[in-house]
Amino acid sequence: MQSNQLTEQGQLRHFLTIEGLKKPMLTEIMDRAEQFSGITQRQVKKVPLLRGKTIINLFFENSTRTRSTFELAAKRLSADVMNFNISTSATSKGESLLDTLHNLEAMHTDMFVVRHDQSGAAEFIAQHVAPHVSVINAGDGCHAHPTQAMLDMFTIRRHKPEFHNLRVAIVGDILHSRVARSQIQALSILGVGEIRVIGPQTLLPRDCQTLGVHVYHDMDQGLKDVDVVIMLRLQLERMKGALIPSAREYYRCYGLSPEKLRLAKPDAIVMHPGPINRGVEIASAVADGPQSVILEQVTHGIAIRMAVMSMALGAQQQETDT
């Protein structure tokens, strides 16, 4: 996968997964995002880096927040953006995905931002686009959500600059979460001291321990002395069968209440990739409390996506020039 994502010079061509990337690449993405984060404070929130480039948001799965932040990121880089409505597209009328892609490429597209409910969809598209086109994975099935993981890493770095001595707990539906997989990969690459996953047996992958994490089924034990608490949304749309007794019982055992949060370090931060199910995964008092950085994550998502887009299209431009 890494060779497909990177150019021969080791620069980012596509951004499909965190897996296979090295620490310097993740650091470069965060450093680039740091430069872009100040743009929101300007009167004119734009830079001309991608002027003349065309970016298409190709969403086969709904996500208002992710699509909106990708759209804002592209516009702040001065790119032309089109949101492709799959429900009214030719793909719903029998035209194949590849036919649709090639028709969109014929409109001089430079980048596809792809969200799909099938794992591997973004990689499939990346294998079939023209050489000058970049593909960014905005979430595919249960597989990966690399820009979400990077905005989470960026948010952590803003509050806890030294990754190597951190304890990070990821709580909830690990089994169905593409976000959790990408987070674990990113935290491992960045050298986090300890990664914990907390959840019921039914919501953890069988091979969980092979991911280099410590597994906890008891939330009180898992939260003890952690620096970062990442709560996950229950992926009810991806569940098959009754994997939890009820939402109320889930909250009792694995919801983040003010009482449970006190088990973490006093300066621990609380994160959630959203959307939040209040009273199921997290109490409102915690989500809106002083330790929550959930809204910061949304803000940082724009800067991270600006960084990834500019790096990928910059690498493509260099290949074209040479």
Q: Where are the domains of the chain?
A: 2-143+299-321, 146-292
Superfamily of domain 2-143+299-321: Aspartate/ornithine carbamoyltransferase (3.40.50.1370)
Alpha helices in the chain (DSSP H): 2-5, 23-37, 64-76, 97-105, 121-128, 146-159, 178-189, 219-223, 247-254, 258-261, 284-287, 294-321
Ramachandran class of 207: left when φ > 0, alpha when ψ lies in -120 to 50, beta otherwise: alpha
Tell me which CATH code domain 146-292 carries. Answer: 3.40.50.1370
pLDDT tens over the chain, length 322 residues? 444 899 989 999 999 999 999 999 999 999 999 999 988 778 888 999 999 999 999 998 888 889 999 999 999 999 999 998 676 565 655 567 888 888 899 999 999 999 998 899 999 999 999 999 999 999 999 899 999 999 999 999 999 999 999 999 999 999 989 999 999 999 999 999 999 999 999 899 988 878 899 999 999 999 999 999 999 998 665 445 556 778 888 999 999 999 999 999 999 999 999 899 999 999 999 999 999 999 999 999 999 999 999 999 986 665 555 4
Is residue 275 a known part of a binding site?
A: yes
Is residue 178 a known part of a binding site?
A: yes
Is residue 274 a known part of a binding site?
A: yes
Is residue 66 a known part of a binding site?
A: yes
Number of C-beta neighbours around residue 216 at 10 A: 18
> Residue 173 in contact with residue 142, Cβ under 8 Å?
no
Domains 2-143+299-321 and 146-292 share a fold: yes
Is residue 65 a known part of a binding site?
A: yes
Is residue 91 a known part of a binding site?
A: no
Is residue 318 a known part of a binding site?
A: no
Report the candidate in 107, 122, 65, 57 with the shortest Cα–Cα distance to residue 83.
Answer: 57
Is residue 164 a known part of a binding site?
A: no
C-alpha to C-alpha distance for 152 and 167, rounded to whole angstroms: 15
Torsion on CA atoms 114, 115, 121, 123, rounded to nearest 10: 40
Is residue 262 a known part of a binding site?
A: no
Could you check whether the bond before residue 275 is cis, i.e. omega within 30 degrees of 0?
Answer: yes
Is residue 148 a known part of a binding site?
A: yes
